[in-house]
Amino acid sequence: VTMHVGLGAGLIISLIPLWLHLRFGVGGAELGPLFVVANAVMAASYLVSPTLSRRIGPVRAIVSTQMLSTAFLVIMPVMPAYNIVAVLYVIRTFLMNMSGPIQSAFIMSLISPEERASASAICSPQSGVVWGVSYSVSQGIGGFMLEQGMLALPFYICGLLYLLASIFFLVFFRESKV
- pLDDT > 70: percent of the chain: 99
* Torsional sign, CA 22, 26, 28, 32: negative
Rg for the chain (alpha carbons), in Å?
16
Phi and psi (nearest 5°) for 53?
-60, -45
CA-to-CA distance for 6 and 22, rounded, in angstroms?
23
Q: Does 130 score more than 80 pLDDT?
A: yes
pLDDT digits (tens, 9 = 90+) for 46-88: 999 999 999 999 999 999 999 999 999 999 999 999 999 999 9
What pLDDT is stored for residue 178 in this prediction? 62
Do the Cβ atoms of 24 and 85 come closer than 8 Å?
yes
119 alpha-carbon distance from chain centroid: 20
| Res. 143 pLDDT band, cuts 50 70 90 | very high
Does residue 14 sit in helix, strand or coil?
Answer: helix
Q: Which long-range contacts (CB under 8 A, 24 or more apart) does 156-159 make?
A: 156/74, 156/77, 157/8, 157/11, 158/8, 158/9, 158/11, 158/12, 158/13, 158/73, 159/8, 159/70, 159/73, 159/74
Question: What per-residue confidence (pLDDT) applies to 49?
Answer: 96
Q: Can you count the helices (H) and strands (E) in the chain?
A: 8, 0
Q: What is the DSSP letter of 48?
A: H
> Residue 81, SS3?
coil
Greater pLDDT, 21 or 176: 21
Which amino acid makes up residue 104? S
Helices (H), 57-152: 58-75, 82-109, 116-123, 129-147
The sign of the dihedral angle between the CA atoms of 141, 144, 145, 146 is positive
pLDDT band, residue 173 (cuts 50/70/90):
very high
